[in-house]
Amino acid sequence: MLAFAVALLCAAGDPAPSRAPLGTRTQGPVRELFLDVTSADARRPLSSELELRYSIANSWNEPMSVARGPSISSQELDEQADSLTVRYRTPWSRWLGPKLAPFSTTVEGRFTLHWGGYTDRAIEAWHGLVGAFNFERSRFPRNQIHLALGDEGGTAFRIDGTTPTVGDVVLRNQASLFEGGDPLSAGEVHRYGLAARLDLKLPTGPLSRAGGSGGFDAGLALLGTAELTSWLTAHAMFSTSRFSGFACNCALQPKEWHAGFDASLAASLGGTTFLVEDRVVSPLLRPGWSRIAWRGNDGLLASGLYADFRTHNQVTFAIRRGRFTFWLSEDGTPGSNPPSTLHFLYMSNAPDVVVGLSFTQPLPN
């Protein structure tokens, strides 16, 4: 995968790379069932574009049970998920005339293969090289898939073999609120921009195959973009969203309201752009559940407790050349973590690591 990405990036050449944000989503078997409001350039697009995005996400949470009153919910999240996302973004002016130039819509669809994969050994080798905690991975067979979530009220999914699935379709409708500043370069876009967006998730992915939650979700976002210099661009986004819940009678359900923050910097050097992106999303599931203790602190750190009930922070590093972008994401959230030797940081491991490659093609007006 890495060699393939390097070869593509080296061959990309022209045109000059964009400094638009990467717009990664927070992957993971449970989070991906719901709407993810992702970042974008706040300035209006000048043309339509088509993007193909391929990513590999390794998630690892050992079996865990949580209780709330008489209810007990169990889960296990161990897989490699290979996803192919297709995005089409177009300004409304292309179809409805120049008076609607401030508006644009992005349509996204996704296909995912849930399977055992091949990345477990590489991750364990990295943990061993740097002396990191291995999150009890060695107690379980490598490169297998075991996805399960459910309780006495119902089963969201139970997957123990290779399973392809389609995901939910997402519509992202963006409106430019303000643009200003003369361009710093030959480009036609303004230096600054502020925009609002309404995102909608349509329940096209089956819950039983971990393709979608089975319900409608909606989100609002405020986005900002600023060209700080001729080679450096900053992006930020605040978002709030409402989830409809699992389409099952499970007692364990997501929180209804969620919030997120994204910030990124994109720096150009010659024909290459380097990006760093940080995104924070609020806890996924409703509070009030307690993990049933098993195997002490090591068992807790290897469980899905943090992935389910605590804030998730993900940092992404990317390189863009021409129309190709390659990235790597790692989770790591500042916060209290007394069971760990690192008391100021915790990992959710859903996902543990993500690598991806995308190709973006501008389309003629």
Residues 6+ apart with CB under 8 A from 187: none
H/E element, 124: helix 120-130
The pLDDT, as a whole number, for residue 8 is 45
The pLDDT, as a whole number, for residue 5 is 47
Residues 6+ apart with CB under 8 A from 323: 12, 15, 359, 360, 361
Check whether 125 has a pLDDT greater than 50.
Answer: yes
Residue bearing the bigger pLDDT, 266 or 12? 266
The pLDDT, as a whole number, for residue 11 is 45
Q: Does domain 2-363 have CATH number 1.20.140.10?
A: no
What is the dihedral sign for C-alpha 59, 63, 66, 71? positive
The pLDDT, as a whole number, for residue 128 is 87
Predicted model pTM: 0.90
List the chain domain ranges: 2-363
The pLDDT, as a whole number, for residue 352 is 87
pLDDT above 90 coverage of the chain, percent: 76
pLDDT above 70 coverage of the chain, percent: 93
Check whether 184 has a pLDDT greater than 70.
Answer: no
Check whether 321 has a pLDDT greater than 60.
Answer: yes
CA atoms of 15 and 163, how far apart (whole Å): 38
Q: Which residues of 275-293 are buried (b: 16+ CB within 10 A; e: fewer)?
A: bebebbbebbbbeebebee
**Location of structure tokens 């996400």:** 57
Residues forming a β-bridge with 226: 192, 234
- Determine the average pLDDT of the residues in 304-322: 95
DSSP for 173-231, written as a single string = EEEEEEEES--SSS-SS-SEEEEEEEEEEE--S-GGGTS--SS-EEEEEEEEEEE-SSS
Structure tokens at 192: 């600054």
Q: How confident is the model at residue 289 (pLDDT cuts 50, 70, 90)?
A: very high
Q: How confident is the model at residue 2 (pLDDT cuts 50, 70, 90)?
A: very low
